[in-house]
Every structure is written in structure tokens, then in C-alpha cells.
Amino acid sequence: MDEARLAAHAVGFGRGGRAILEGVDFSFGPGELVSLLGGNGAGKTTLLRILLGLLAPLRGEATLGGAPVRRMNRRAFAEQVAYVPQAHVAPFPYRAREIVALGRAPAVGLFGRMGARDAQAADEALAMLRIGHLAERDYTTLSGGERQLVMVARALAQGARLLVMDEPMAGLDYGHQLRLLGHLRRLAGQGWGVLMTTHHPDQARLASTRIATLVAGRIDSDGAPDAVLTPETLRRLYGLEPGDIPA
């Protein structure tokens, strides 16, 4: 559905006299798992922050369904788009179900109280990711992979159909990376849209429906994984010489 797409249009951004993004055109929507690849300092996180309306571009704009993100009511935006941070340790020993239920905050409002419908949404999100058995566990005792799945469940409980994830695999062992990628691919197959940044082309190739590469602040390539992840693209992406890539 085009009306649900989150997009950047000719976005430019810089800081301290240095250009970070230049003329970036990019979008994603329901049914896609899109990986955004780029080296350190390529501008991946900056682009995510602009798409989320947390940072104003110097040129161009971000839109959701054609409406400028920066002018949208934040509650209305949260009904459609959820941000999934890297797994973190909560400062208090909340149960996993309580962390997931926090995703209902935009719907409940600042002074509202969560009810049975909100608790049901949290339980359904846990079940969807097959982590219902973690519901009563202290979040601080979970592994990194389990905490990341709880963060995804929180986003699902929010009710948004578009998920934006910054380096979701960071710090996870290979088994948890594969498990999380499998869940994300299933969500895309069920109609959610997922955008994630990553440093790792192998992760992107394994699960993505689309890959976009960010080089020198511009979208260098955008398409099917096998079409994008060529030796030539990898050389541009990571500044490699022809002999650096094994034949």
C-alpha cells in the first residue's frame, strides 16, 4: 500500500560544515524487509532519525503516506511507525510482559490507564514472536537476543505496521541473529514493513527482500539482494581494493 510508505525525498543534512546526507531518495512499506547498509559514518542513523521525525533535514523532507512527518501529530505517527532500539537493560527489574505493554503508551495517552485490551495486545505480541514463556521473566535476566525480541514485541503491541530498527543484531551471537532475522522475515511476509540498518552484508542477503546501500551520504544502490551485493558494490561500500575481496 503506497499510502503507508515512509519515505525520504531529496533529503540533505550536514553538521559542522560536513555533508552527511545529499539528495537521498528512499522509501519502504508493508510487506518489505529492507536492509540499509553503510560503513561507519555513512549517515545510516541520521537517515533513520529524519525518517522518524526526530531530526529536521536541511533540505528535502520525510513523509508518511505523503504527509510531512515533521508536521504530523506524534501520537498519530506512532500508530503507524514504531522504533525498535538496540536491546538495552532496563533500570528496574520489570517483567518482560510489562516492557512489551509499554508499547501501548501512545494509544493510552500520558495520563491514561492500561486496560484489558492493552494487556491482550501485549500477550498477542509475545505469542506472535513465540516468546510467551518469557512473559513473567525479569527483563534484566534475559539474554541479549531475548531482550531484542521483547523490544520487537513492544513495537508490535504498539499497533504500528512499520518498524524501524537501528543495528538490531549488534551484540547478538550468531544463533540469536538468525532467530531474529527469521522473525523479521516472517513479519514482512505477514504484511509488516521492516527497515533495519546493519554493517553486515551476509545478514542483509539472508533475510532481506530489498537492500539499499548508503555511500558518501547518497543512496548508491537499491534493489534485490543478489543484484545489489556484487563485488563492485562492496568495494564502493567499504572502500575496498579489487584484491581485498577473495575470488
Model pLDDT, residue 87: 67
Q: Are 41 and 234 in contact (CB under 8 A)?
A: no
Q: What is the 3-state secondary structure (H, E, C) of the chain?
A: CHHHCEEEEEEEEEECCEEEEEEEEEEECCCCEEEEECCCCCCHHHHHHHHCCCCCCCEEEEEECCEEHHHCCHHHHHCCEEEECCCCCCCCCCEHHHHHHHHHHHHHCCCCCCCHHHHHHHHHHHHHCCCHHHCCCEHHHCCHHHHHHHHHHHHHHHCCCEEEEECCCCCCCHHHHHHHHHHHHHHHHCCCEEEEEECCHHHHHHHCCEEEEEECCEEEEEECHHHHCCHHHHHHHHCCCHHHCCC
Supply angle C-alpha 87, 159, 115, rounded to 5. Answer: 95
Q: Give me the sheet containing 6-15, strands edge to edge.
A: 18-28, 6-15, 59-64, 67-68
Length of the chain equals 247
Which residue in the block uniquely carries the three cell numbers 537493560? 89
Identify residue 165 by its one-letter amino acid code. M
- The whole-number pLDDT of residue 1 equals 40
Amino acid letter at 84?
V
Judging by DSSP bridges, how do beta strands 67-68 and 59-64 pair with one another? Answer: antiparallel
**Tell me, what amino acid is at 27?**
S
Domain 2-80+160-242 coded CATH 3.30.450.20: no
* Domain spans of the chain, in order of start: 2-80+160-242, 89-158
Cα separation, 227 vs 35, whole angstroms: 14
Regarding pTM above 0.85, the answer is yes
> Do the strands 162-166 and 81-84 form a parallel or antiparallel pair, or are they unpaired?
parallel
Mean pLDDT, the chain cut into blocks of 10 residues (247 residues total): 82 91 96 94 92 96 96 92 81 87 75 73 92 93 90 92 92 87 94 93 92 94 94 86 69
Lookup: cell for 205: 542477503
